[in-house]
């Protein structure tokens, strides 16, 4: 029993550390003003429009996406996906508050911070998917589309990101050239970093 408990705690700590890194990256991309990820832009745009915390916007959009996933699968809602949404929302609010007073004035600073943010997002996701705990609703929707509509993960992701960019534009979210860059390169970067982490830490991260 003690061994199983230790195993579960290890899973959760890896999962949580990935989310913390990912949300820091999201906050930095938004602060850079170069352009946040497509889905992140929706959340920040909605939060600004409704004058609410980003966490609440994340929970609202997560619920909508979870409903869409259930419709695609023709099954009941997967409430386990909200575990990740709750943690992502809280962590994002924390980083937004901590970085609120930081200002990047030059183009060079903004680009560097954007690149750091993208790297942290990819690293965070690469880490948080290792324990195989519930993914967030947008990732679950991507999986649902591949399972039910027989399309590739890449096509599913690009389709979701494309729709998110349109919605973010309507909501006046923080989209820009960086949004397109994130859409094209974060996925492959996640895959590369995930493989590197697993190869280097295969013994210490034997938590699957």
Give 4-25 pLDDT, tens digit per residue: 444 578 888 888 999 999 999 9
Q: Are the beta carbons of 88 and 60 closer than 8 angstroms?
A: no
pTM of the full predicted structure?
A: 0.84
* Residue 208 within any structural domain of the chain: no
Sign of CA dihedral 75, 125, 182, 147: negative
Region 83-110: what's the mean pLDDT?
91
Which domain does 178 fall in, by range?
Answer: 2-200
* Residue 26 within any structural domain of the chain: yes
* Residue 63 within any structural domain of the chain: yes
CA-CA-CA-CA dihedral for 105, 183, 164, 75, to nearest 10? -140
What percent of the chain has a predicted confidence (pLDDT) above 70?
93
Region 167-176: what's the mean pLDDT?
92
* Residue 205 within any structural domain of the chain: no
- Residue pLDDT, tens place only, 43-57: 999 999 999 999 999
Sign of CA dihedral 10, 12, 13, 19: positive
Which tokens belong to 99? Answer: 């970085």
Q: Using 50, 70 and 90 to split pLDDT, how confident is the model at 142?
A: confident
The per-residue pLDDT for 140 is 81
Region 69-73: what's the mean pLDDT?
87
The per-residue pLDDT for 166 is 93
* Residue 146 within any structural domain of the chain: yes
Residue with tokens 């959760």: 12
Residue 207 clears pLDDT 80, i.e. is over it? no
* Residue 127 within any structural domain of the chain: yes
The per-residue pLDDT for 74 is 84
Residue 94 clears pLDDT 70, i.e. is over it? yes
Instruction: Report DSSP state, residue 99.
Output: T
The per-residue pLDDT for 3 is 44
- Residue pLDDT, tens place only, 33-46: 999 989 999 999 99
The per-residue pLDDT for 203 is 56
Residue 2 clears pLDDT 50, i.e. is over it? no
Question: How many domains does the chain fold into?
Answer: 1
Residue 191 clears pLDDT 50, i.e. is over it? yes
Q: Are the beta carbons of 120 and 24 closer than 8 angstroms?
A: yes
Instruction: Report DSSP state, residue 152.
Output: -
């Amino acid at each position: 029993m003690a061994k199983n408990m230790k195993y579960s705690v290890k899973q959760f700590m890896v999962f949580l550390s990935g989310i913390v890194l990912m949300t820091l990256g999201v906050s930095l991309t938004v602060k850079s003003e170069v352009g946040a990820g497509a889905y992140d832009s929706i959340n920040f745009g909605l939060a600004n429009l409704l004058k609410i915390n980003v966490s609440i916007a994340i929970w609202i959009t997560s619920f909508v996406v979870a409903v869409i996933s259930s419709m695609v699968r023709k099954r009941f809602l997967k409430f386990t996906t909200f575990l990740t949404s709750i943690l992502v929302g809280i962590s994002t609010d924390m980083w937004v508050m901590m970085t609120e007073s930081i200002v990047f004035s030059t183009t060079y600073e903004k680009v560097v911070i954007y690149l750091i943010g993208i790297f942290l997002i990819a690293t965070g996701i690469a880490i948080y998917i290792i324990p195989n705990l519930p993914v967030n609703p947008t990732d679950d929707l991507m999986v649902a589309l591949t399972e039910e509509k027989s399309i590739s993960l890449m096509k599913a992701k690009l389709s979701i990101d494309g729709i998110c960019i349109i919605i973010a534009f309507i909501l006046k979210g923080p989209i820009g050239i960086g949004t397109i860059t994130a859409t094209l390169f974060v996925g492959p970067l996640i895959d590369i970093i995930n493989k590197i982490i697993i190869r280097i830490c295969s013994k210490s991260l034997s938590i699957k």
